[in-house]
Amino acid sequence: MSGITDPYQHVERKLELTRRCLEVFLKYKNPVSIITKNHLVTRDIDILEKLAKDNLVRVNLSTTSLNPDLTAVLEPRTSRPAKRIEAIQKLTDAGIPTGIMTAPVIPGINDHEIPELLSVGAKAGAIHAGYVMLRLPWGVKDLFTNWLEHHFPDRKNKVLNKITDIRNGKLNDSTFGLRMKGSGNYADQIKKLFEIHSAKNGLNLERKPLDSTKFIRAGQRDLFG
């Protein structure tokens, strides 16, 4: 929950769909991994800590930048950086395994922040970390290009050139195994930078798999009746 749409969007405050899903996961001991950009995840600590006691949950705070001005124009409907770091701290204090995701890594925009992001995340209690290079499938290419033109016109060509450098000469390469990290010299540099500073900050030393052995099978009536 969720690699595509954040499970803690603003409407979740009212609808509580994610919270209700977590209640079902807890009831049936279903392991779940969460990735979000929003502090709202801390609302559900009461459920998450129960899942954590049975090694059934892992939470990741996706933190693109520590610069609130950049976050405001890049991810305007998400929690500001300080609130995401605070969420890592609160989740960790509750005994919930928590990590920091630097995603997406955007060449020439936030790539220089990787060392500090990992350091700040680790100090807040993160135990693991990951990253995703910027992906621009379908219409996202045009949206992102227009965004660069509006907010960073002086960097536009540099950024796009770096992207094509890691995407085999295109703005997007969906090849399995490459789409999340890219390929080529620049992609290798980011990978090495990430690995060095993850190790320096004690991240990713151990990644215990979630426990699926406690899963309780239920009939359809049990789930929806």
Q: Report residue 10 as tokens.
A: 């603003």
Mean pLDDT of 107-128: 97
Rg (CA), the chain: 19
Query: pLDDT for 23-64, tens place per residue?
Result: 999 999 999 999 999 999 999 999 999 999 999 999 999 999
- Alpha carbons 209 and 221: distance in angstroms, whole number: 30
Instruction: Using the predicted structure, report yes or no on whether residue 90 has a pLDDT greater than 80.
Output: yes
| Domain spans, the chain | 12-135+175-224
pLDDT band for position 171 (cuts 50, 70, 90)? very high
Q: How far from 110 is each of 61, 71, 95, 198, 203, CA to CA, in Å?
A: 16, 10, 30, 17, 20
- Alpha carbons 107 and 10: distance in angstroms, whole number: 29
With beta carbons less than 8 A apart as the criterion, state whether 27 and 74 touch. no
pLDDT of 64 = 95
DSSP 152-205: -TTTHHHHHHHHHHHTTTSS----TTTTTT--SHHHHHHHHHHHHHHHHTTTTS
For domain 12-135+175-224, the CATH class is alpha beta
- Alpha carbons 85 and 62: distance in angstroms, whole number: 10
Query: pLDDT for 181-200, tens place per residue?
Result: 999 999 999 999 999 999 99
- Alpha carbons 12 and 156: distance in angstroms, whole number: 35
pLDDT band for position 164 (cuts 50, 70, 90)? very high
Q: Please, what is the average pLDDT of the chain?
A: 94
Instruction: Using the predicted structure, report yes or no on whether residue 161 has a pLDDT greater than 60.
Output: yes
Mean pLDDT of 112-141: 96
pLDDT of 223 = 57
Mean pLDDT of 191-219: 92
Q: Report residue 143 as tokens.
A: 């949206």
* 103-107, 129-133, 217-221: least confident range: 217-221
The pair phi, psi for residue 199, each rounded to 5°, is: -65, -40
